[in-house]
Amino acid sequence: MAKNTLLGIAIFIAQVICNPIFAQEKQAHNPIIFADVPDMSMIRVGNNYYMSSTTMHMSPGVPIMKSTDLVNWKIINYAYNVLDTIAPLSLNNGESNYGRGSWASSLRYHNGTYYVSTFAQATGRTHIYTTKNIEKGPWKEFTFAPSFHDHSLFFDDDGRTYLIYGNGKLRIIELNADASAIKQGTTEQVIIENASLPSGTNIGLPAEGSQLFKVNGKYYLFNITWPKNGMRTVVVHKADRITGPYEGKVVLQDRGIAQGGLIDTPDGKWYAYLFQDFGSVGRIPHLVPVKWEDGWPILGENGKVPQNLDLPANKSLIPGIVASDDFSRKRGDAALPLVWQWNHNPDNSLWSVKIRKGYLRFTTGRIDQSFLMAKNTLTQRTIGPECTGSTSIDVTNMHDGDFAGLGLLQKKYGLVGVKAEDSRKSIVMINAESGETLEIENIPLSQNKVYLKIDCDFRDRTDRANFFYSLDGQSWRSIGNSLKMSYTIPHFMGYRFGLFNYATKVPGGFVDFDYFHIKDKLSQDNNK
């Protein structure tokens, strides 16, 4: 090879390596998780990071995620399997717990024990879970009234333990040293009369989402507030004593990225972990570099959340946050991988991955009249900026009135599935975008196996979903119309893929799901 050719190759390689686009591929970027992972609480134990988040009415609840680089996360556990067995948490007696369940958790590590605390309007209680092994458990629960809103669990250096909580007016109460109960004889104390004040007086959402940290002997309390006609704002209060007095200031106002706290790396770097409301995909986590000046955390670059971060590059959210599942289990495998959560508490007698090898069987056990009240809908998050979920179902053993398929779970849901009616089966698409359940298209089905697929486009908040079916798994056809997805406060959660089967006339029918596949791109077969 000629010397000039070698020189040319060397120059080309150097240019590629120095190219900013190439460099960005070696860096992390925001959001660090393009999926619904809100209300994060984060700790570092040695070189490992752990994070808890909110999943409200889902079961199991309070997911625990692990990372070694602050960017790439994997679900490793849940704090509980069932929060409580009351009717609203179980979709019983016509009651539901959408938008409630367990809210913002607080994750802590103290004297060799991991603590996860949360609170629930449904139970009216505060729930605290402890374990020596955050990845394997077991967990022990302590629970007590009342339900302390958006609290931060805090273990101080003097051995005392506290909850800081509230909305606008922030309070503190002391717990027993092991956080098992409110300390006898203690009373709550107001530590900040109006925590929203640093962001102004015209406030829509008073300060909440408390997370307390101690750095170099000083206390730093992070909160979110929302000025009217403004955006979600990060406010930090600083004090020399846990009970105050506190001095507060706004530390970030950028694109509504807010609510979270502080985390440091083993090599001494600091970041704030926060989330952003991003339409129908949900509330997505960001990392923000932090510098310290005059005893205050300075967030971002010139007050802005950077797109790129000096951290390892993002990998796919598959399989750490969501994952495909062929429902084949080896000896010792969990019945369901941790990426799955049930919509409310399940009836575990009505599903199985053992009865028919390689399939997930859903049997109906009662009469339900709507997707939102149906028992045993199994869900996974959708992910951005785009994704596709697909499944195949054997519908041989459906009863008259049964409806089974693949859905997008939110108040304004969309479904593609098979209905059994009057000894006939048909493929239908349901659109509840308007608030009414509308059957958009109905196609007769003359076979017992069908393939279903949903595309979700979250790019630039497009928030559109399209629905497809196939009779052979190869050639796909669209069905129904496009669903305009919408994040609603009554559900307070990003859209989720859901596998479902419910009876409207006679229980006892069943369907077998062959697989669920998720991809981080839109279908390539939309026009077939």
Tell me the sheet residues that pair with 464: 457, 484
Q: What is the pLDDT of residue 11?
A: 47
Q: According to the model, what pLDDT value does residue 12 have?
A: 47
Q: How far apart are CA 271 and CA 263, in angstroms?
A: 5
- Residue 51 clears pLDDT 60, i.e. is over it: yes
**In the chain, how many H helices and how many E strands?**
3, 38
N- to C-terminal Cα separation, the chain: 48
- Supply the pLDDT for residue 24: 46
Cβ distance 442 to 426 under 8 Å?
Answer: yes
pLDDT in tens, 148-168: 999 999 999 999 999 999 999
Whether pLDDT at 76 is above 90: yes
Q: What's residue 25's pLDDT?
A: 60
Q: Is the pLDDT of residue 247 over 90?
A: yes
Domain with CATH 2.60.120.200 in the chain: 341-519
pLDDT tens for residues 24-43? 468 999 999 999 999 999 99
- Residues, the chain, total? 528
Using CA atoms of 394, 397, 401, 405 in order, give the dihedral in degrees to the nearest 10: -20
pLDDT digits (tens, 9 = 90+) for 405-449: 999 999 999 999 999 999 899 999 999 999 999 999 999 999 999
> How would residue 528 be classed by pLDDT, with cut points 50, 70 and 90?
very low
Distance of CA 88 to the CA centre of its chain: 21
Report the C-alpha gap between 133 and 471 in whole angstroms.
47
- The CATH class of the 341-519 domain is mainly beta
Question: For residue 426, what pLDDT is reported?
Answer: 98
Residues 6+ apart with CB under 8 A from 514: 326, 327, 358, 359, 391, 392, 393, 394
The answer to whether residue 526 scores a pLDDT higher than 60 is no
Mean pLDDT rounded to a whole number for the chain: 94
- What is the arrangement of strands in the sheet containing 61-67, beginning at the earlier edge strand? 41-45, 48-52, 61-67, 74-80
- Please state, as a whole number, how many other Cβ atoms lie within 10 Å of the Cβ of residue 7: 10
User: Residue 112 has what pLDDT?
Assistant: 97
Q: What is the mean pLDDT of residues 175-191?
A: 97
Residue-level pLDDT at 523? 85
DSSP letter at 102 equals: B
The set of residues, in sequence order, having a beta carbon less than 8 Å from that of 348 and lying 6+ positions away, is none
Q: Which residues of 91-116 are buried (b: 16+ CB within 10 A; e: fewer)?
A: bbeeebbbbbbbbbbbbbebeebbbb
**Amino acid occupying residue 355:** I
Backbone angles phi, psi at 188, to 5 degrees: -70, 155
Q: What is the pLDDT of residues 304-328, one digit of tens each?
A: 999 999 999 999 999 999 999 999 9
Distance, CA of 449 to CA of 467 (rounded, Å):
17
CA distance 225 to 209: 9
Mean pLDDT along residues 60-69? 98
Strands (E), 197-322: 203-215, 218-227, 233-239, 247-252, 258-264, 270-277, 283-293, 296-299, 308-309
As a whole number, mean pLDDT of residues 232-257 equals 98
Q: Residue range 369-373: average pLDDT?
A: 96
d(CA 53, CA 107): 9
The percent of residues in the chain predicted with pLDDT above 70, rounded, is 94
pLDDT confidence of 525, banded at 50, 70, 90?
very low
Separation CA 171–CA 143 (nearest Å): 19
**pLDDT tier at 19, thresholds 50, 70, 90:** very low
Q: Where in the chain is the domain with CATH 2.115.10.20?
A: 30-309
Query: What is the distance between the alpha carbons of residues 454 and 250, in angstroms, rounded to a whole number?
Result: 42
Residue 215 has pLDDT above 80, yes or no: yes
Distance CA(6)–CA(413), nearest Å, equals 59
Report pLDDT for 397: 98
Cα dist from 478 to 207, 424, 443, 445, 467, whole Å: 46, 21, 11, 15, 6
Q: Are 126 and 143 in contact (CB under 8 A)?
A: yes
pLDDT at 75 over 90: yes
Q: Residue 243: CB partners within 8 Å, gap ≥ 6?
A: 172, 189, 191
Alpha-carbon span 519 to 414, nearest angstrom: 19
- For residue 362, which amino acid is it? F
pLDDT score recorded for residue 7: 47
* Tokens describing residue 249: 């200031």
When pLDDT is cut at 50, 70 and 90, the band that residue 109 belongs to is very high
- Across 113-134, average pLDDT: 97
Using DSSP, state whether 197 is helix, strand or coil: helix
Question: Looking at domain 30-309, does it have CATH number 2.115.10.20?
Answer: yes
Q: Which residue has the tokens 């206390």?
A: 219
Nearest to 63 by CA among 72, 71, 99, 54: 54
Decide if pLDDT at 214 tops 80: yes
Residue 10 pLDDT exceeds 70: no
**281 phi and psi angles, rounded to 5 deg:** -70, -20
